[in-house]
């Protein structure tokens, strides 16, 4: 197993090898499953579509372990010729992902903050730049880092329940979203909506998120899986090579920007999060969450 | 008093000092008022919200004196720890601001044009980059420079009267909006709407302005003050530091661009406005305005 | 006549000279017509509006000859002081333009590909950067390069028939739209709509194209001419100089980007199109089109 924080950078030999697809017509064993602690991965070889199901109670928070497992699983799929697309969904009711795990940012060492932030960057670089078709099936609330995961996909379908909300609400917690969270947000909803939403730290209920273009489509919860499969099929109808080149053309500038400023961005995060005032805010926020539960 | 054109650049000792806020519960003297010739400033210390009321008849045109007073008043509030937000509104019926004062651009010396344009730049740099929450309560028409003032705020509420219009209508007068007017416009409504609106010099009636995102909200005139206060309260609920950092992240690129090209932009303005053909256009336009009144 | 591929670069002596406009009130000969093989040009001197009517059966595909004629005709109008605006429309039912002519990209020499691509670039540089008011009257489908022509105009009116569609569908053919097609698309519909539409190679039926802002207005076919004239009159009411400076301010960055990377862009196109796999795809696509007809 891979030690936490040592992320596979690229072109690792894929765990599932590069086996050719199953010959058509073979009815058995169309699905390979793969699970670590926090994410269940299933690959349907007949369609070439994998599902990554987040199952890290209570709220799928993005801990260092979760992010490491996420990157390794995504890398495996990326290198698996049998896989062309991934659907992301939560196995936990009412929450897609609660975002970055605050315990990773509170009362830890500089080394730990560095390692954690590098994993957050790595996750975004891999997902936003993935060659596969990526669809977020958002079956619950998705604040902050959870919203970033969804925004980094090619398409977002959200359950139409107005109790589920999504947004980059960092400002509400007294912190600021990093520039590449902001860039991803702006590329999705435009400058003005982003300017207002990020300053207010808004969590948009599903209908409002749809109105602002933060998600592409709303569906009843029972239709989510079917809709995600249909959208995936539509995207997979396009020749991979042309779609991948086009995706890269649209996203390369943003990816390059973080790659160019990666160490600086880590420094900024570490010095910011190490401040007494920020540590105090985060501790108070965690106390509040504990009392709430 | 400050001589016109000599604008306080930054970190001047605030006129009101840095007195701590009134202790809560003190019912008396919650409001400090301050007035020069053209703008009435009132600060409600209990809420931390100031109002800057434009009272420069007949149409709140942005003369050198007006802009100088605007910058000084804004600077005072910026440096006053008791103030966290400003609402801009007109004391004159049917007009928010008519934009740059044409008499400042007609038949004057090169030195005067230089001084005037520097004041226009200064106004935008201070307002677009303000650390305070800024809300435009647009209770009348707001063409050209008046529109720029509104666009530079964090939020725009306009009276829903379709007789009130707003836009950068420079092209109608045969002149071109400067690049930073254009950038501010694009960041609010997007590239395509801006391209069309700026080329046509469109003045959008309130409902159309709302449809295009030029203003965020429409209200009946009698609800304007109440709505502005409610919006302000919503923005002030966010921790100042996080909101200010986020605002700076969204706006810094544009501010930096003018700062980097400030002298060049003044040169461009002065040589453009000094042309015989432009002077002639402006004189004709002023004649037309006089006959109209 | 001009040899194909040798495009007039700029400031050629205009074919129609710089004759002053006809004196007002002269009822005769208000219209000069001009036709080569593939485009009919008519200039109404009373209004200053020309019409360029595409008449290259079966589908107005953008062959080297078509593009050369297009550039020469546009150049003539650009240099004719009697002309201030151009309306583009198709003389062929149901199709505006089918886009780049695939036969120019299939089984030809490197020199031919180079010449062809330079002509495609030249067409866009001249049209997107035109000083005249340009209106696309889209009376039929307009895929790929046909869509680019429309996007390069100042305003797009489309016949409201849902059987007519428009979009950059390159990805569907297994190829990628060049960066400046993408830039023009993004400046019209924004980043998110572009990201999705370009990856899927979507052809949007007229109502959907309107919803996404790909076209500005829909009209019944019988109202198209009247509407185009009315829109043109609205744009011509603005002083040319101010409108042209504003247009240049909005579009210069994109034009400069292609000019700076022009040879590199040609190299990319030529090496891409010369690949065996791409040649094979294009041959299959042409076979399919032949069978369809």
A 8-67: CB under 8 A from C: none
Output A286 or A225, whichever has higher pLDDT: A225
The structure tokens 């990526």 sit at: A134
* Mean predicted confidence (pLDDT) in A103-113: 96
Comparing CB atoms, the residue among B187, B190, B246 nearest residue A199 is: B246
Phi-psi region of C85 (alpha: psi -120 to 50; beta: other; left: phi over 0): beta
What average pLDDT does chain B have? 90
Question: Does A159 reach chain C within 8 Å, measured CB to CB?
Answer: no
Nearest CA in chain C to B198: C246
Judge contact between B122 and B130, C-beta under 8 A.
Answer: no
For B157-196, what is each residue's pLDDT tens digit?
999 999 999 999 999 988 899 999 999 999 999 999 999 9
Contact C174 A242 (CB under 8 A): yes
Which residues of B are marked as active site?
100, 145, 169-170
Angle made by CA atoms B281, B286, B289, in degrees to the nearest 5: 130
Comparing CA positions, the residue from C90, C80, C118, C108 lying closest to residue C4 is C118
Whether residue A78 lies inside any domain: the answer is yes
Comparing CB atoms, the residue among A154, A187, A238 nearest residue C171 is: A238
pLDDT band at A52 (very low <50, low <70, confident <90, very high): very high
A28 Cβ neighbours under 8 A, 6+ residues apart? none
Whether residue C258 lies inside any domain: the answer is yes
Comparing CB atoms, the residue among B187, B234, B242 nearest residue A174 is: B242
Whether residue C22 lies inside any domain: the answer is no
Contact C171 A247 (CB under 8 A): no
Whether residue B6 lies inside any domain: the answer is no
A169 Cβ neighbours under 8 A, 6+ residues apart? A143, A144, A201, A202, A203
Torsion angle in degrees (nearest 10) through CA of C15, C19, C24, C29: -40
pLDDT at A293: 66
* Minimum mean pLDDT range among A249-263, B39-53, B275-289, C170-184: B275-289
β pairing state of C49-54 and C39-44: antiparallel
Domain count, chain B: 1
Q: A271: cis peptide before it, omega within 30°?
A: no
pLDDT at A3: 38
- Chain C hits for B182, CB-CB cut-off 8 Å, are 249-250
- Chain C hits for B187, CB-CB cut-off 8 Å, are none
- Chain C hits for A251, CB-CB cut-off 8 Å, are 195
pLDDT at B84: 98
Question: Does C257 reach chain A within 8 Å, measured CB to CB?
Answer: no
- 10-residue mean pLDDT profile of chain C (293 residues): values are 35 32 44 81 96 97 98 97 97 98 95 98 98 98 98 98 98 93 98 98 98 98 98 97 97 98 97 92 85 76
Shortest Cα distance, chain C CAs vs residue B183, angstroms: 10
pLDDT at C23: 42
Whether residue C1 lies inside any domain: the answer is no
For A1-21, what is each residue's pLDDT tens digit?
333 333 333 333 333 323 334
* pLDDT at position B254 over 90: yes
Judge contact between B155 and B216, C-beta under 8 A.
Answer: yes
pLDDT band at B31 (very low <50, low <70, confident <90, very high): low
Q: How many CB atoms lie within 10 A of CB B150?
A: 28
List subunits contacting chain B, requiring 3 or more Cβ pairs under 8 Å.
A, C
Residue B265 belongs to domain spanning: 31-279
Integer Rg of chain B from CA = 19
pLDDT at C34: 72
Enter the pTM of the model: 0.90
Whether residue A8 lies inside any domain: the answer is no
* pLDDT at position A175 over 70: yes
What average pLDDT does chain A have? 90
> Which DSSP symbol is given to C36?
-
Q: Measure the CA–CA gap between A121 and B152, rounded to whole angstroms.
A: 33
- Chain C hits for A245, CB-CB cut-off 8 Å, are 176
pLDDT band at B100 (very low <50, low <70, confident <90, very high): very high
* pLDDT at position B197 over 60: yes
Q: Is A64 part of the annotated catalytic residue set?
A: no
* Mean predicted confidence (pLDDT) in A43-63: 97
Question: Domain of C174: which CATH number?
Answer: 3.90.226.10
Question: Does C245 reach chain B within 8 Å, measured CB to CB?
Answer: yes
Q: Per-residue DSSP letters for B210-232?
A: HHTTSSSEEE-GGGHHHHHHHHH
Nearest CA in chain A to C199: A243
Whether residue C183 lies inside any domain: the answer is yes
* Minimum mean pLDDT range among A42-56, B1-15, B84-98, B229-243: B1-15
Contact C187 B195 (CB under 8 A): yes
Contact A196 B216 (CB under 8 A): yes
pLDDT at A25: 44
Whether residue C19 lies inside any domain: the answer is no
Q: Per-residue DSSP letters for C48-101?
A: TEEEEEE--TTT-EE-HHHHHHHHHHHHHHHT-TT--EEEEEESSTEES--EE-
């Amino acid at each position: 197993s891979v030690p936490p924080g040592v992320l596979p950078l690229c072109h690792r030999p894929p765990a599932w090898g590069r086996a050719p697809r199953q010959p058509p017509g073979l009815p058995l064993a169309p699905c390979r499953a793969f699970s670590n602690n926090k994410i269940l991965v299933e690959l349907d070889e007949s369609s070439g579509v994998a599902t990554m199901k987040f199952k890290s109670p209570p709220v799928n928070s993005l801990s260092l372990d979760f992010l490491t497992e996420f990157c390794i699983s995504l890398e495996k799929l990326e290198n698996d010729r049998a896989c062309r697309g991934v659907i992301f969904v939560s196995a936990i009711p009412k929450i897609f992902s609660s975002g970055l795990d605050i315990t990773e940012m509170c009362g830890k060492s500089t080394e730990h903050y560095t390692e954690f932030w590098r994993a957050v960057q790595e996750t975004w670089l891999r997902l936003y730049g993935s060659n596969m078709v990526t669809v977020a099936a958002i079956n619950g609330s998705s604040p902050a880092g959870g919203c970033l995961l969804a925004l980094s996909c090619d398409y977002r379908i959200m359950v139409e329940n107005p109790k589920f909300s999504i947004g980059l609400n960092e400002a509400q917690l007294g912190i600021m979203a990093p520039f590449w969270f902001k860039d991803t947000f702006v590329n999705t909803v435009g400058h003005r909506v982003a300017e207002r939403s990020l300053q207010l730290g808004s969590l948009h209920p599903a209908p409002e998120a749809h109105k602002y273009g933060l998600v592409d489509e709303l569906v009843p919860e029972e239709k989510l899986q079917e809709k995600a499969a249909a959208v995936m099929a539509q995207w997979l109808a396009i020749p991979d090579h042309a779609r991948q080149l086009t995706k890269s053309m649209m996203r390369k500038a943003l990816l390059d920007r973080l790659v160019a400023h990666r160490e600086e961005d880590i420094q900024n995060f570490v010095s910011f999060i190490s401040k007494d005032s920020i540590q105090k805010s985060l501790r108070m926020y965690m106390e509040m969450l504990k009392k709430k539960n």
